Structure 1
Amino acid sequence: MAMTAGEIEKLIKDAFPEAQVTITDLAGDGDHWAAEVISASFVGKSRVQQHQMVNAALKEALAGPLHALALTTRVPA
């Protein structure tokens, strides 16, 4: 069963409560998502480390119902 945008956002916000999170359904099928995560937690981290942090928050979902996720991360401006 596919995940909803709200479910994905909640998992990310649970790990990064201060983050600005934008979830986009890329294909309109509820199965292919893009997430933009802007968080002060990423300060001083490489892009790879930032993605690893978000992937860790989504670990169980990525192993199951979350089929495809394009991830963009950055620190607040």
Structure 2
Amino acid sequence: MEIQFKDGLVPVIVQEKRTREVLMLAYANATALELTRTTGYAHYYSRSRQKLWKKGEESGHFQQVCRILVDCDEDAVL
């Protein structure tokens, strides 16, 4: 699958593995997705700060990623 980025970003819906509760909606660029894949921890792109960030760096609430799914239109990530 080839992820379709719009303006360099793709929406990412974050879900809790066990309960499937939706935790957040964020955005990622290609670098954030690659960091997520290689480290196993969620990385996003902040549109307001115009920079990458690792979830939990400031809050301590890190998100360990179990798997990455792409929707059928290849324009959103779960």
Q: Structure 2 length normalisation: TM-score?
A: 0.28
Larger relative contact order (Cα-Cα within 8 Å, sequence gap ≥ 6): 1
Name whichever structure is richer in helix by fraction. Answer: 1
Q: Structure 1 length normalisation: TM-score?
A: 0.28
